Amino acid sequence: METPIIVKNLTKKFGDVVAVNDVSITIEPHEFLTLLGPSGCGKTTLLRCIAGLEDPDDGEIYIGDKLIYSHVKGISVPPGQRELGMVFQNYALWPHMTVYKNMTFALEIQKLSKEEMDRRVKESLEEVKMSGYEDRYPREMSGGQQQRIALARMLAYRPRVFLMDEPLSNLDARLRMDMRTELKRLHHISDATTLYVTHDQLEAMTMSSKIAVMKLGVIQQLDTPDKVYHFPGNLFVADFIGNPKINLMPGWVSRQDLVDMGKFNIPVKTYNKRGDVVVGLRPEDIIVHDTPTDNTVEFTAYSVLPSGADTTIIAHMGDTELIIKEMGVSKIQMDQKIWLSFKQDAINLYDKETEDLIQS
């Protein structure tokens, strides 16, 4: 089904708080788009406006070619008629209903045959690895199991679009990983337009075809995960995405294609920018040498943190601290002198004043 979600100039206020501030976004058919941002940035509110659970103050929303909300035209289609599948943080299974009943009450309203309902319940439970739980009550299951039933209920409903608000937040780390795998497969198979909300950047990076990074009710960047990671559009996005965090260092462009960092210089494309900048460099884009060579800068290994698969090195030079990530086990010892070079094409330059990526 070719069902985009189109949001135009949507605003939602709670008293003085502008939870969603003039947001325009299109979730293309078949896309898995994730709203990503810190707690309180307006992700849930935007999703709830699309679901019809909040009454916006302004704007328009289309699902497919159907106008489901318009402030100006006074249109607001009730939630039940928006044909959406939803899974929320608080998974809200009916406590007095079995799993089977929880999964089929919406299907009964659609007047599906018993055989069709049985088939959908069986298939959906298989998808979330909960086969055989049809007769359990919610209280007889763990939080994680209940959450998976909530997902299965959404799948069985076969909606035009999926809306999910932090559906994995109640699961332990191992199960979260499993469910990321399954959700991505599910989307791969169903191809349903999906709007997903999370504050977990790893979830967003691993599953999404597009990510919209939000801050204070405003979308900061809408891009593929790869672009958001490698070309963050502003300092907020750069700082929010990546673990360990990106290195952000103040510098000064005194002449074309050279940034003066105080104790050393970094050659990098500066376009027409002069003056104060911030250099953004990911930890894996710094190379550690144990002897000085051309174009290296001397630091000291302040702390060395091996994790098995990789090693994080915290390097100091005066007040400057850099976080470095090396694959595998590092030979570097704490307090050892090290010499660093930077992968030049991985460096991003930001305007200190506007905080935007400099790209022209």
Residues making contact with Mg ion (CB under 5 A): 44
β-bridge pairing 337-342 and 286-289: antiparallel
Separation of alpha carbons 205 and 223, rounded Å: 11
271 binds, among Mg ion, ligand ADP, none (CB under 5 to 8 A by kind): none
- Minimum distance of ligand ADP from residue 174's CB (angstroms): 25
The site partner of 40 among ligand ADP, Mg ion, none (C-beta below 5 to 8 Å per kind) is ligand ADP
The rounded radius of gyration (Å) of the Cα atoms in the chain is: 24
Between 44 and 194, name the residue whose CB sits nearer to Mg ion: 44
Minimum distance, C-beta of residue 38 to Mg ion, in the bound complex (Å): 10
Minimum CB separation of residue 57 from ligand ADP in Å reads: 12
Residue with Cβ nearer ligand ADP (46 or 68): 46
Q: How far is the CB of 205 from ligand ADP (least distance, A)?
A: 18
**For the stretch 111-147, what's the b/e string if a residue is b when 16 or more beta carbons lie within 10 angstroms of its beta carbon?**
ebeeeebeebbeebbebbebeebbebebeebeebbbb
Please, which residue, 178 or 200, has the CB nearer to ligand ADP? 200
| Residue 338 binding target from Mg ion, ligand ADP, none, CB below 5 to 8 Å by type | none
Q: Is 315 helix (H, G, I), strand (E, B) or coil?
A: strand
* Burial (CB count within 10 angstroms: exposed 0-12, middle 13-18, buried 19+), residue 255: exposed
Task: Evaluate whether 133 touches 99 at the Cβ level (below 8 Å).
Answer: yes
Nearer to ligand ADP, 20 or 152 (CB): 20
Q: Cβ of residue 19: shortest distance to ligand ADP, in angstroms?
A: 3
Q: Would you say 37 or 242 has its CB closer to ligand ADP? A: 37
Confirm if 113 and 104 have CB atoms less than 8 A apart: no
Peptide bond between residue 306 and the one before it cis (omega within 30 degrees of 0): no
Binding site for ligand ADP (CB under 6 A): 14, 17, 19, 37, 39-45
Name the binder of 225 from ligand ADP, Mg ion, none, CB < 5-8 A by kind: none
Task: Tell me the closest approach of the beta carbon of residue 9 to ligand ADP, in angstroms.
Answer: 18
CB 6 to Mg ion: min, Å:
22
Rounded (10°) CA dihedral 15, 20, 21, 26: -160
Select 40 or 144, whichever has its Cβ closest to ligand ADP: 40
Tokens of 125: 């439970």
- Buried b / exposed e over 319-328, threshold 16 CB at 10 Å, is ebebbbbbee
**Rounded distance, CA 147 to CA 87, Å?**
9
The strand pair at 310-317 and 297-306 is best described as antiparallel
For the chain, the farthest-separated pair of C-alpha atoms sits apart, in whole angstroms, at 75
Place of tokens 């799948």: 155
**Closest CB to Mg ion among residues 183, 197:** 197
Residue 41 interacts with which of Mg ion, ligand ADP, none, CB < 5 to 8 Å by class: ligand ADP
Tell me the closest approach of the beta carbon of residue 237 to Mg ion, in angstroms: 19
Q: Which is nearer to ligand ADP, 47 or 235 (CB)?
A: 47
- Cβ at position 360, least distance to Mg ion in Å: 35
On whether the CB atoms of residues 122 and 154 are closer than 8 A, the answer is no
Q: Of 44 and 311, which CB lies nearer to ligand ADP in the complex structure?
A: 44
Pick one of ligand ADP, Mg ion, none as the site partner of residue 17 (Cβ within 5 to 8 A by kind).
Answer: ligand ADP
Asked whether the CA dihedral 99, 101, 102, 103 is positive or negative, the reply is positive
